[in-house]
């Protein structure tokens, strides 16, 4: 009997995604209180900035299977710069809204990696990057839909855009990194 999952790794990735989503959705009702508590104790902007960087490092550790070369490291530095610039340029956003950048980056990275794992194991996955983006945006939209049902929370289309931006950045970055990795391998093999 065939399993729904193509491998143990794919099952673990989907399970990790479920845990991340449950953590995000479970804190929706309490997010304002948590943010107020953090604001009293620490600089929330600095804490969220550090959380974003930790997420990027986590993503790179979890999803990089081979030792990166110079070109890949250069792209990685560029990706971090894009995140930092996105973080800084979202000046109208509150620190709480900026959390979408790291939350939905992690969501999108997990979805994308699970779809790639599924495809690598012989299952049909058309356009994994686009499919991962669509799934991630829908999960972010669900986040806002849940908030619209909660007291003291509202549906905010700007947050949907933040979620989509985070998913687009990480999936685009992962696609660029894969392209650079293939280019570097081809270059090494032809030399």
**pLDDT-based confidence at residue 1 (cuts at 50, 70, 90):** very low
User: 83 is in which domain, residue-wise?
Assistant: 8-190
Query: Is the confidence at residue 163, as pLDDT, over 70?
Result: yes
**pLDDT-based confidence at residue 62 (cuts at 50, 70, 90):** low
Q: Mean pLDDT over residues 116-145, rounded?
A: 95
Provide DSSP, the chain.
---SSSSHHHHHHHHHHHHHHHHHHHTTTTHHHHHHHHHHHS-HHHHHHHHHHHHHHHHHHHH--S---HHHHHHHHHHHHHHHHHHHH-TTS-HHHHHHHHHHHHHHHHHHHHHHHHHHTT---SSHHHHHHHHHHHHHHHHHHHHHHSTT----HHHHHHHHHHHHHHHHHHHHHHHHHHHHHHHHHH-
114 located within any domain: yes
pLDDT tens digits, one per residue of 73-130: 777 777 777 777 776 666 555 666 667 778 898 899 999 999 999 999 999 999 999 9
2 located within any domain: no
Query: Is the confidence at residue 151, as pLDDT, over 80?
Result: yes
Q: How many domains would you assign to the chain?
A: 1
55 located within any domain: yes
158 located within any domain: yes
Prediction pTM value:
0.79
1 located within any domain: no
150 located within any domain: yes
């Amino acid at each position: 009997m065939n399993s729904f999952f193509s491998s143990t790794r794919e099952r673990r990735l989907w399970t990790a995604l479920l845990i991340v989503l449950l953590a995000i959705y479970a804190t929706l009702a309490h997010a304002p209180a948590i943010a107020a508590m953090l604001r009293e104790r620490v600089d929330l902007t600095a804490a969220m900035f550090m959380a974003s960087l930790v997420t990027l490092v986590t993503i790179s550790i979890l999803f990089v299977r081979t030792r990166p070369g110079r070109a890949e490291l250069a792209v990685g530095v560029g990706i971090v710069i894009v995140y930092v610039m996105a973080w800084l340029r979202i000046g109208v956003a509150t620190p709480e809204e900026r959390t979408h950048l790291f939350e939905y980056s992690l969501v999108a990275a997990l979805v994308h990696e699970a779809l790639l794992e599924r495809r690598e194991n012989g299952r049909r996955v058309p356009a994994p990057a686009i499919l991962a983006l669509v799934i991630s945006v829908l999960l972010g939209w669900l986040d806002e839909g849940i908030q619209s049902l909660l007291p003291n929370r509202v549906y905010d289309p700007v947050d949907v855009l933040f979620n989509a931006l985070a998913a687009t950045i990480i999936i685009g970055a992962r696609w660029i990194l894969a392209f650079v990795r293939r280019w570097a391998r081809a270059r090494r093999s032809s030399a």
